[in-house]
Amino acid sequence: EADIYQTPRYLVIGTGKKITLECSQTMGHDKMYWYQQDPGMELHLIHYSYGVNSTEKGDLSSESTVSRIRTEHFPLTLESARPSHTSQYLCASSDSLQGLKLFFGSGTQLSVL
């Protein structure tokens, strides 16, 4: 079954703080993604990576940045959090050998006060 982990599960912070949302997968998948989702609402792709040292911005403009130094790790960073960043952030990975199936982490619920 899926082995993709996100931490923290919940995060409440003040405006202006720098935060990093962690995402790790142990399946050796080359593709990883970050989505932003408000409760019950649509998913927006904000970043994706097709491999180490490869990162691209998604369809939704985001002030966050990502890095992919290792295959298993795809952290997302907000340099200065604002209330408008309050949302759920979902990390996912996929491997074409797995039949294009996406594996999702359990998400990080971020609240910026």
Partner 1 sequence: GNSVTQMEGPVTLSEEAFLTINCTYTATGYPSLFWYVQYPGEGLQLLLKATKADDKGSNKGFEATYRKETTSFHLEKGSVQVSDSAVYFCALRDKIIFGKGTRLHILP
Q: Left, alpha or beta for 42 (phi > 0: left; psi -120 to 50: alpha)? A: beta
* SS3 state of residue 21: strand
Q: Where are the beta strands (DSSP E) in 1-113?
A: 4-7, 10-13, 19-25, 31-37, 43-51, 54-57, 65-66, 76-78, 87-94, 102-104, 108-112
Of the residues 21, 23, 78, 90, which one makes contact with partner 1 according to CB under 8 A = 90
- Nearest to partner 1 of 58, 75 (CB atom): 58
Q: How far is the CB of 51 from partner 1 (least distance, A)?
A: 14
35 binds partner 1 (CB under 8 A): yes
Name the minimum Å distance from CB 64 to partner 1.
16
Q: Which span sits near partner 1 by CB under 8 A: 17-25, 41-49, 62-70, 78-86? A: 41-49
Q: Which stretch binds partner 1 (CB under 8 A): 15-23, 62-70, 78-86, 94-102?
A: 94-102
